[in-house]
Amino acid sequence: MAPSAFLWLLIAAAYFLIPLIATFLFSLKSNQTGKCCTVSNYSWVIHNHGFWESLKISSLLALETIVISLALFVPTIYWVHLRVPRLRPVIAFLALIPFVVPPIVMVVGLLRFFKGTPDWFYAKPWGFLAGAYVILAFPYMFFSLDAGFRSIDVHTLTEASQSLGAKWTTTLFKVILPNIRAAALAASFLTLAIVMGEFTIANLAAFNTFPIFIQYVNESQGFPAGALTLLSFGITWAAMLSLLLVGRKRGARSAVIAGGR
Amino acid sequence: MAYLELQNLHRDFGTVKALDGIEIQLGEGEFLSLLGPSGCGKTTALRLVAGFDRPDEGRIVVDGKDITSVSPNKRDMGMVFQAYSLFPNMTARQNVEYGLKIRGRDKADRRSRVSELLELVGLGHAGDRYPHQLSGGMQQRVALARALAIEPRVLLLDEPLSALDAKVRVQLREEIRRIQLELGITTLYVTHDQEEALSVSDHVAVMYGGRIEQMGSPAEMYSAPATPFVAEFIGTMNRLEGTVVDGGVDHGGKKLTIEAASGRPTGQRVLVLVRPETVEVTPANGAAASGNTLVGDVVTQTFLGPVTRLKILGTGVDVIADVPTQTALGLPVGTRVAAALPADGVRILELKEDLPEISEEP
């Protein structure tokens, strides 16, 4: 490697690593004395009930959002590519709206809109918040999946499958889905990352998700907040890794999509 | 009785008449090629038979049953597409097995049938490879095996060789024909390549503008084209415009004696069709042109192997002639030659309108 390339790599690595290392050193200081080095902050986090509770809520919310989004968007985008390609630009435009509308505006709108709905929906994260997160994940889902669908010949594969006797559901699950697996995984990662870090909507709708807990600790406990930050960082990465492993389990060899000849 | 019938099929796309009253009757086990330039409606016709599209008018009947409104997954049509139709996530074996799995065949049955088919297409050794590990020709063989696996009522081939190299193309088309004859499967083949169509089919239907211009055996189509378009499209043809005069045709002031002209009204505008291989070329030696002889200069020579194609241009003369390569050596570019047209065996068609331009395939 050329020396200049190495230098740039070093600078880039430093940009990401220095804050992590600094946070790590900070998290080793005692909450009582402010001196190094102790793991008591980590122990405090791990033994905190709020940590586990909020982590559980956010993880399940992420999972729910991913499942609902995939179930909603995969067939829709498949259908658009197959039958109404003229609608694609319209949907792409709609998908940009969650980017453009500030979360604060969106949450106020949603809260007003859903006011008066049953408690099992309105007062539970699994209802209202999941609904809001599906909207928030829409752009990421759409653009990832759309790229996936564009990388395969949806028409020919569908027609080939049909002529062999398959119903459209069989075609979707046996032929189309395995070939857009990479795109579906990417969409799921992004959704996971969004849900694990989303603060504004959860805060205004008064749900105790993981980011709310981090914020709470951050305000009240200096050194444990460092430990919590690193732990949340690790947890998010572990979640993405597990998603990757689950997704790869069956299709590692088949992930390569034959390119144009 | 016809096994596959396309009855008065019409299909419009907006203002474009993709199919304008197609009639086809095909016996069981026969091989029909739909031949024509792009946009002639041949693929539309095939897609209607496959069920991927519905006709605006007309019926499709297979073995006496009207299948016009049957959905494609219930038609039992084996289809081979132009390219990239293999499921990328499945091996060759799994691709072939797919249709059998859907039909709920048991595992042992599937296994033996898949092996049998892969052997049939010469890929017994490559069953475990994924599509991206196969060459274009191999992929199309797998696609053929996959289509045949379901024992289709009709085999539909949509330009299956167009994405392949010339050599593989010739090899594979012969193999498709061999397999078709071996299995006795009724086959509809779409192509824009006339050589391909003529070499493998029992019948050829030349299509233009959503209509069938002519349908017949390859030999008939070649030797007796019924319309100027067919004459233009099949093989290479000299087209000499002229008007009927007593006992022949006046072509640019030169009277050609042509038997086929007799009985036609004098003054009728006609097209005289002469195959290049029937034109005899000799050095002109300054002698005046006599009989059916057109005099001009050789302007290009195209080596085609056993024969060489000469383009001959002169005053009002523009013909091509295929002469034995040995003869062509004595007629270098620039030689003044006499091109003699045969008096019989030449076809004449009435010229009603200007000939359509034949667009190049992409």
CATH assignment of the domain containing A159: 1.10.3720.10
pLDDT at B278 over 60: yes
Band (A31; pLDDT cuts 50, 70, 90) = confident
Residue A31 maps to a domain = no
pLDDT at B248 over 90: no
Any idea what DSSP says for residue A71?
H
**Mean pLDDT over the full length of chain A:** 87
How much is the pLDDT for A40? 87
Residue B346: other Cβ atoms inside 10 A: 22
How much is the pLDDT for A1? 65
How much is the pLDDT for A255? 38
Angular region, B8: left φ>0, alpha ψ -120 to 50, beta rest? left
Cβ–Cβ below 8 Å for A166 and B83: no
Band (A257; pLDDT cuts 50, 70, 90) = very low
Structural domain for A134, as ranges: 48-249
Nearest 5°: CA angle at A5, between A3 and A7? Answer: 70
Could you give all domains of chain B from N- to C-terminal order, each with its CATH number? 4-230 (3.40.50.300), 236-350 (2.40.50.100)
Cβ–Cβ below 8 Å for A261 and B83: yes
How much is the pLDDT for A182? 87
Query: How many angstroms separate the Cα of B194 from the Cα of each of A189, B204, B206, B207?
Result: 52, 9, 9, 12
The mean pLDDT of B73-102, rounded to a whole number, is 94
Percent of chain A with pLDDT over 90: 48
For B38, residues 6+ apart whose C-beta sits below 8 A from its C-beta are B192, B359, B361, B362
How much is the pLDDT for A91? 93
Which tokens go with B104?
Answer: 């709920």
How many domains does chain A fold into? 1
How much is the pLDDT for A254? 40
CA A39 – CA A227 distance, rounded (Å) = 9
The mean pLDDT of B41-66, rounded to a whole number, is 95
How much is the pLDDT for A32? 79
Of the candidate ranges A25-34, A167-176, B153-162, the one whose mean pLDDT is the lowest:
A25-34
Cβ–Cβ below 8 Å for A156 and B132: no
Cβ–Cβ below 8 Å for A175 and B75: no
How much is the pLDDT for B362? 39
Given CB atoms, is B50 within the 8 Å cutoff of chain A? Answer: yes
Percent of chain B with pLDDT over 90: 62
What residues pair up with B190 in beta bridges, in sequence order?
A: B34, B158
Residues within 8 A of A (CB atoms), B 138-177 only: 143, 146-147, 149-150, 156, 163
Residue A256 maps to a domain = no
How much is the pLDDT for B354? 58
How much is the pLDDT for B289? 56
Judging by beta carbons within 10 Å of its beta carbon (0-12, 13-18, 19+), is residue A38 exposed, middle or buried? middle
Query: How many angstroms separate the Cα of B305 from the Cα of each of B274, B282, B326, B328?
Result: 21, 20, 10, 11
In which element (H, E) is residue B298 found?
strand B293-303
The mean pLDDT of A120-132, rounded to a whole number, is 87
Given CB atoms, is B74 within the 8 Å cutoff of chain A? Answer: yes
Which tokens go with A254?
Answer: 């088949």
In a 3-state reduction of DSSP, which class is residue A254?
A: helix
Residues within 8 A of A (CB atoms), B 226-285 only: none
How much is the pLDDT for A7? 92
The residue among B269, B222, B263, B259 whose CA lies nearest residue B343 is B259
Of the candidate ranges B62-66, B139-143, B238-242, the one whose mean pLDDT is the lowest:
B238-242
CA B249 – CA B42 distance, rounded (Å) = 36
Residue A39 maps to a domain = no
Residue A22 maps to a domain = no
pLDDT at B129 over 90: yes
Given CB atoms, is A217 within the 8 Å cutoff of chain B? Answer: no
Q: Which residues of B touch A159 (CB under 8 A)?
A: 50, 52, 72, 79, 81, 85
pLDDT at B178 over 50: yes
The mean pLDDT of B157-178, rounded to a whole number, is 92
- CB nearest to A160's CB, from B51, B85, B130: B85
Cβ–Cβ below 8 Å for A258 and B88: yes
Q: What is the pLDDT of residues A48-68, one digit of tens each?
A: 899 999 999 999 999 999 999
Which tokens go with A201?
Answer: 């909507």
- CB nearest to A163's CB, from B78, B87, B130: B78
Residues within 8 A of B (CB atoms), A 129-158 only: 152-153, 156-157
Burial code (b: 16+ CB inside 10 Å, e: under 16) for A161-193 equals bbbbbbebebbbebbbbbbbbbbbbbbbbbbbb
In a 3-state reduction of DSSP, which class is residue A41?
A: helix
Given CB atoms, is A169 within the 8 Å cutoff of chain B? Answer: no
Residue A23 maps to a domain = no
Name the residue with tokens 């519905």.
B54
Nearest 5°: CA angle at B122, between B81 and B117? Answer: 70
The residue among A126, A143, A117 whose CA lies nearest residue A63 is A126
Residue A197 maps to a domain = yes
For residue B265, how far is the Cα from the chain centroid? 33
Band (B264; pLDDT cuts 50, 70, 90) = confident
Of A155, A163, A179, which to mutate for an interface test with B (greatest number of B Cβ within 10 Å)?
Answer: A163
Band (B359; pLDDT cuts 50, 70, 90) = very low
Residue A200 maps to a domain = yes
Q: What is the pLDDT of residues B330-342, one digit of tens each?
A: 899 999 998 988 8
What residues pair up with B242 in beta bridges, in sequence order?
A: B270
